[in-house]
Structure 1
């Protein structure tokens, strides 16, 4: 068996759940052990795969370029940041002309504000411009994955118990809001499809 590290699976997650995933942990004391974000639906994520509309980019760096991008999905907004250590992603954000659909693979990052709140962002490994069909397929697939995690949540499991502990008051935590968000995203997709099918043609 090879001792080479394997790349972690990139989890599909909606913004509403990702932005709640403020607890991170390692599963070993090794210095280079992967850092995981704990998704509230009871799954660990070292990497995430998101698709949405890149609505805004901004160089927020002081001494050097440090690009912020906002990516919107049907449930909310992801924030991502790329600097000198993510040259390809930073280049994409520098040259992008929002709005455009993008697919992003990256790592969750957390930081605490002066007010004590934990904000969650994505450090992108890759950013790719995609089409509307790709975005729609991602919404469907991510909704299915979210619903599967919510169904498994009540059956227990190591990460479900961790989520209850870290995100719930007195150990009580309701993953139902993420099920509702997933169903709402699917409904939005269906209504968008119906509108485009019934939209009258503009008269010449």
Structure 2
């Protein structure tokens, strides 16, 4: 994964037009219920921010999901719509056209279902029925492992909850969220974040790292111990070198 800003604390001041904005992590329910973009600065080049119900001011977002559908909805040229669903069953949409060529090409190569991390700019569009459709204009679409996917889902949920409880965020954006949404979506977003954490625990188990052999643990073992572990798995060559055994046993389940 290539988002150097993905772990940035949400309490950071929003920045001027010459700075790259921190990526905001959130669950899809927080993102899709957001319907307002604001520009706090006075200059034409000042960054614009999506205000989410949890109080995020997002110039750039990071979401994780499983690709369920990719469709070309363009007329004169390719304009791809990607639908993703997170571990709690909540959807978000990504649209990639001529100005997101790299991401569009990456999306075109996907075969649903795949685990992905999406980093990009939020976009809002008024629909024919007067509603607002919030989607991502992607900068990066990364295919990720199942383990990375569950970790990102959990981290996004934790960031969302911390904003809702006031542990993270910027007072300007929290005030904007209060003015725009009040507490209309707070319970829905909070429940979605909690359900995400519960689903991750169900899928990978609490303390999943203790249920599998990690590389660091294996590298601390001597050769005889590694060979002994290898006997638990038919597909692992117990006579291989120590390095090969470490490679073969990494992420294997710990025998009961």
Q: TM-score, normalised by structure 2?
A: 0.69
Q: Which sections of structure 1, spanning at least 5 residues, go unmatched?
A: 198-204
Does residue 42 (structure 1) correspond to residue 51 (structure 2)? The answer is no
Alpha-carbon distance in 1 for matches of 2:199, 2:139: 29
Say which SS state the counterpart of residue 42 (structure 1) adopts.
Answer: coil
Aligned equivalent of 2:114 = 100
Aligned equivalent of 1:200 = none
Aligned residues: 190
Aligned equivalent of 2:191 = 180
Aligned equivalent of 1:164 = 178
Alpha-carbon distance in 2 for matches of 1:143, 1:187: 10
Larger strand percent: 1
1:147–1:128 Cα change, 3 Å: same
Aligned equivalent of 2:202 = 191
Deviation at 1:74, TM superposition (A): 2.6
Misfit runs of 4+, over 3 Å: none
Alpha-carbon distance in 2 for matches of 1:11, 1:156: 12
1:56–1:158 Cα change, 3 Å: same
1:24 to 37, 43, 56: 37
Does residue 110 (structure 1) correspond to residue 124 (structure 2)? The answer is yes
Alpha-carbon distance in 2 for matches of 1:57, 1:157: 38
Alpha-carbon distance in 2 for matches of 1:132, 1:156: 32
Say which SS state the counterpart of residue 76 (structure 2) adopts.
Answer: coil
Does residue 15 (structure 1) correspond to residue 28 (structure 2)? The answer is yes
Structure having the higher Rg: 2
Q: Which sections of structure 2, spanning at least 5 residues, go unmatched?
A: 1-15, 212-256
Contact 2:17–2:46 (CA under 8 A) maintained in structure 1 = no
Say which SS state the counterpart of residue 98 (structure 2) adopts.
Answer: coil
Contact 1:15–1:73 (CA under 8 A) maintained in structure 2 = yes
Aligned equivalent of 2:242 = none
Deviation string for 1:4-61 (max 9, x for gaps)? 8121011111111100110110012311111110011112000001111111101100
Aligned pairs for 1:3-152 (under 5 A) are: 5-75=18-88, 76-152=90-166
Say which SS state the counterpart of residue 196 (structure 2) adopts.
Answer: helix
Alpha-carbon distance in 2 for matches of 1:37, 1:179: 18
RMSD: 2.2
Contact 1:26–1:36 (CA under 8 A) maintained in structure 2 = yes
